[in-house]
Chains A and B, each alone.
Chain A
Amino acid sequence: MFAPAPTLPVSDADPFALDVLQDPLQFQAALRDAGPVVYLRRYDVFALSRYEQVHAALTDWQSFQSAAGVGLSNFRYETPWRPPSILLEADPPHHDAPRAVLSKILGPRALQKLRASWVLDADVLVDQLLSNTTEFDAVTALTAAFPLRVFPDAVGIPDAGRENLLPYGDHAFNAFGPANSLVEKGAPRVAELSGWVNEQCAREVLTGDGFGAQIWAAADRGDITHEQAPLVVRSLLTAGVDTTVNGLAAVLYAFARYPEQWARLRENRTLARTAFDEAVRWESPVQTFFRTATRDTEIGGTVIPDGKKILMFLGAANRDPRRWENPDVFDLGRNPSGHVGYGMGIHQCVGQHVARLESEALLTALASRVESLEIAGPVRRHLNNTLRSWESVPVRVQLS
């Protein structure tokens, strides 16, 4: 058993306890104030919650590896619940080729081709919704509906079974945490959902022109192997849906909470881009990720022993007052650049440009029709070990 140095703050708290997941802000503030590194006895891991250390750990792939798993489970000693991701749960050199292929396919210039049709899709979705009602659940009506409308088509998977995407993602993100009640809840459907997702990654199932087909074309060129291609497609289906759904929910919830910021966006539509990143900073849809020390490594004055896990609180770093002025305020006047909501370094979210485009399309469609929006009823969180997620955000809008 690891014996922490007397100077190292120790906590017996459980960051994955349901009440903490329900509202993690107080816990995270206490963790930040306790020190740059805090030993979490319950899980035998080292928590980083200040911006400086989280940023340093994210970028230092040489010292803090991903291939031993980016969840609590340590692949050096434990068998992963599914074959590891060749992007998220891989280190150089194995990480290089899949990452290079996907970066190109999901790069800002490649996405230009999708822009017009996504903008149109957002317009249609918003028109349909607002022609029927001005009071609705932003999660089901918009933030889940829009990504599910455009993203699976962009990847090129068939229509049948798309309802499996959110539960699969939910479980995958729960599985980065401890084996608590949230993981147990998902366990009965794991085999079925994994089976369905894996089937969607096959070349013959995918349309001829989507991201999926482009991944297979990269395998034909030898840029990745044919064995890797389905796993790269799987990464898109795992990481590309729940994250954007929650990112979009975060930005709409933020605007409902800060009506003056909505007015600001309406005056200057180019703020749509900043708005999404500010919401990702403010809410941090992906709250935490782990890394594993590849050798005894000093960070924030503490030596992390070889093979031990660190737990990086992206959400806490994004609200660290040492880095951000008035961090708890959603403010379009702020420059959120440098937030770690997408991670940082070689594993930084490869789909970030996709998420930004989805948000830009949706916010632009709403901004031209909606004068103001407000919370119309009790909001409900959806609990997940990794994601800061919404079950329901009822809103009322006033049309312009």
Chain B
Amino acid sequence: MSQNPVSSGTPADAALRVDAKVVVAEGVVALTLRHPTGRRLPDWAPGAHIDLVLPNGLTRQYSLCGDRWDAHSYRVGVLREPSGRGGSAYVHDELAVGDLVGVGGPRNNFPLVPSQKYLFVAGGIGITPLLPMIRQAELIGADWRLVYGGRTRTSMAFREELAAYGDRVVFLPRDERGLPDLPAYLAEATDAKVYVCGPGALLAAVEKCCADWAVGRLRTERFVPKDRGAPLRNEPFEVELARSGLAVTVNPGATVLDAVQAAGVNVLSSCRGGTCGTCETTVLAGAPDHRDSVLDDDERSAGDCMLICVSRSCSDRLVLDL
């Protein structure tokens, strides 16, 4: 057995290198990630997030907030969460430029839909998915506004980037301006699609104002600091191929697809990046660790299928219908 080339539970293939780590506000760092060989990263659109599989075994999800026209780097903003299980603390205190981190996705549960008018509402670190949306709204010449609330001015990330947009952006540090007058901003936003990301209290307040709105006009993403429960595996796992009667071991450096193919079972695949859906495989037993961009949350939690070009296993053994 070859030695595990990366100390995380992800295949070496999906590991990105921390290229830059910059403090962008009080308690917020921005990470720039690149592939160690400098190759293209999977495509994404505003609202997408990636899974960051940290060297300490924790997995956290972060919205991509960089430039999708640069296909070679991802940027995420990470807030230190004192109440978390240590994912963000690890990023802040331990993770260094040059480290490798595993990455899953990107996936998008918060896509930007077409409109000539947008209202963006951000609470704190909820600004991250909205940054690339704003860039695109600007690009297509849409009429847009951003209402950006935060604890204090210095705690609000990416202020300088946003200041360039002039009076389209309203900064509302709570210690200076109090809570935003949401009903007023929302009432002004006639015909706009409204995108809100931030803590639960902000979302609840907005939803209360928009209860009678047409379906799909209000789009929200709850920013919940949530460490994923499943422990990530550093160890190899077994994959049993029910139809072929074979069993293979998947080492941390290889994908399930590679391992299955090495055993002589041909599985059709195409993108090898978890985006096209071609290698979707039925899972008969075991708990897949999903890393793809195709399945939605319900499909993931059903656990009855997986994209074997990128996804792995939480359990010691997976049984696949192959």
A353 and B268 CA atoms in complex are apart in Å by 12
B304 to chain A, nearest CB (A): 10
Chain B contact residues, majority secondary structure:
loop
A270 to chain B, nearest CB (A): 7
Contact B45 A92 (CB under 8 A): yes
Contact A222 B266 (CB under 8 A): no
Q: Which residues of B contact A94 (CB under 8 A)?
A: 114, 140
Q: Which residues of A contact B271 (CB under 8 A)?
A: 344, 348
Q: Which residues of A contact B268 (CB under 8 A)?
A: 273-274, 277, 335-337
| Residue in B46, B114, B266 whose CB lies within 8 Å of A274 | B266
Interface check A4, CB cutoff 8 A: no
A107 and B269 CA atoms in complex are apart in Å by 15
| Residue in B69, B214, B294, B305 whose CB lies within 8 Å of A222 | B214
Contact B112 A60 (CB under 8 A): no
Instruction: State which of A119-127, A223-231, A383-391 sits at the interface with chain B.
Output: A223-231
Q: Which residues of B contact A270 (CB under 8 A)?
A: 243
A328 and B136 CA atoms in complex are apart in Å by 45
Interface check A259, CB cutoff 8 A: no
Size of the chain B interface, CB-CB below 8 angstroms: 39
B232 to chain A, nearest CB (A): 26
Interface check B299, CB cutoff 8 A: yes
A228 and B270 CA atoms in complex are apart in Å by 29
Q: A93-B45, A93-B112, A222-B217 are in contact. Are A60 and B40 (CB under 8 A)?
A: yes
Q: A109-B299, A223-B216 are in contact. Are A97 and B270 (CB under 8 A)?
A: no
A62 and B68 CA atoms in complex are apart in Å by 9
Nearest A residue to B136, CB-CB: A93
Q: Which residues of A contact B205 (CB under 8 A)?
A: none
Most buried by B among A62, A93, A225: A93
Task: Tell me which residues from 93 to 128 in chain B have a Cβ below 8 Å from any Cβ of chain A.
Answer: 108, 111-115
Interface check B276, CB cutoff 8 A: yes
Q: Which residues of A contact B40 (CB under 8 A)?
A: 59-60
Contact B266 A225 (CB under 8 A): no
Contact A225 B69 (CB under 8 A): no
A94 and B280 CA atoms in complex are apart in Å by 28
Nearest A residue to B116, CB-CB: A225
Interface check B249, CB cutoff 8 A: no
Interface check A220, CB cutoff 8 A: yes
Total contacts A to B, CB within 8 angstroms? 86
B77 to chain A, nearest CB (A): 21
Chain A contact residues, majority secondary structure:
loop
Contact A92 B111 (CB under 8 A): no
Contact B71 A222 (CB under 8 A): no
Interface check A324, CB cutoff 8 A: no
B243 to chain A, nearest CB (A): 7
Q: Which residues of A contact B13 (CB under 8 A)?
A: none
| Residue in A62, A224, A225, A352 whose CB lies within 8 Å of B278 | A352
Determine the interface band of chain A, counting residues with CB < 8 A from chain B.
35 or more
A86 to chain B, nearest CB (A): 10
Q: Which residues of A contact B159 (CB under 8 A)?
A: none
Q: Which residues of B contact A92 (CB under 8 A)?
A: 45, 68
Contact B280 A224 (CB under 8 A): no
Interface check A260, CB cutoff 8 A: no
A222 and B115 CA atoms in complex are apart in Å by 9
Q: A224-B114, A277-B268, A337-B269 are in contact. Are A353 and B214 (CB under 8 A)?
A: no
Interface check A342, CB cutoff 8 A: yes
A346 and B278 CA atoms in complex are apart in Å by 14
A197 and B16 CA atoms in complex are apart in Å by 47
| Residue in A107, A224, A273 whose CB lies within 8 Å of B277 | A107
Interface digits, B30-50 against A, CB 8 Å rule (1 contact, 0 not)? 000000000010010110000
Q: A107-B294, A335-B261, A335-B266 are in contact. Are A221 and B216 (CB under 8 A)?
A: yes
Most buried by B among A273, A335, A337: A337
Interface check B193, CB cutoff 8 A: yes
| Residue in A62, A108, A274, A344 whose CB lies within 8 Å of B69 | A62
Q: Which residues of B contact A59 (CB under 8 A)?
A: 40
B310 to chain A, nearest CB (A): 14
Nearest B residue to A228, CB-CB: B114
Q: A93-B136, A222-B215 are in contact. Are A346 and B43 (CB under 8 A)?
A: yes
Nearest B residue to A106, CB-CB: B277
A330 to chain B, nearest CB (A): 15
B230 to chain A, nearest CB (A): 23
Contact B193 A222 (CB under 8 A): yes
Interface check A96, CB cutoff 8 A: yes
Contact B114 A225 (CB under 8 A): yes
A273 and B322 CA atoms in complex are apart in Å by 13
| Residue in B115, B266, B272, B305 whose CB lies within 8 Å of A338 | B272
Interface digits, B211-252 against A, CB 8 Å rule (1 contact, 0 not)? 000111100000000000000000000000001000000000
Q: A61-B43, A222-B216 are in contact. Are A100 and B140 (CB under 8 A)?
A: no
Contact A97 B68 (CB under 8 A): no
Interface digits, A333-352 against B, CB 8 Å rule (1 contact, 0 not)? 00111110010111010001
A339 and B270 CA atoms in complex are apart in Å by 7
Residues of B within 8 A of A (CB): 40, 43, 45-46, 68-71, 108, 111-115, 136, 139-140, 193, 214-217, 243, 261, 266-272, 276-280, 294, 299, 305
Q: List 20 A-B contacts (CB under 8 A).
A: A61-B43, A62-B70, A93-B112, A97-B111, A97-B114, A107-B294, A108-B280, A220-B215, A222-B113, A223-B111, A223-B113, A228-B114, A277-B268, A337-B279, A339-B270, A344-B271, A346-B43, A348-B271, A348-B276, A353-B278
A222-B113, A335-B266 are known; give 14 further A-B pairs, CB within 8 A.
A61-B43, A62-B69, A92-B45, A93-B140, A100-B111, A107-B277, A107-B294, A109-B299, A223-B216, A337-B267, A337-B272, A342-B270, A348-B271, A352-B278
The 10 closest A-B pairs by CB, nearest first: A222-B216, A221-B216, A337-B269, A93-B136, A96-B45, A335-B266, A97-B114, A225-B114, A108-B277, A62-B69
Residues of A within 8 A of B (CB): 59-62, 92-94, 96-97, 100, 107-109, 220-225, 228, 270, 273-274, 277, 335-339, 342, 344-346, 348, 352-353
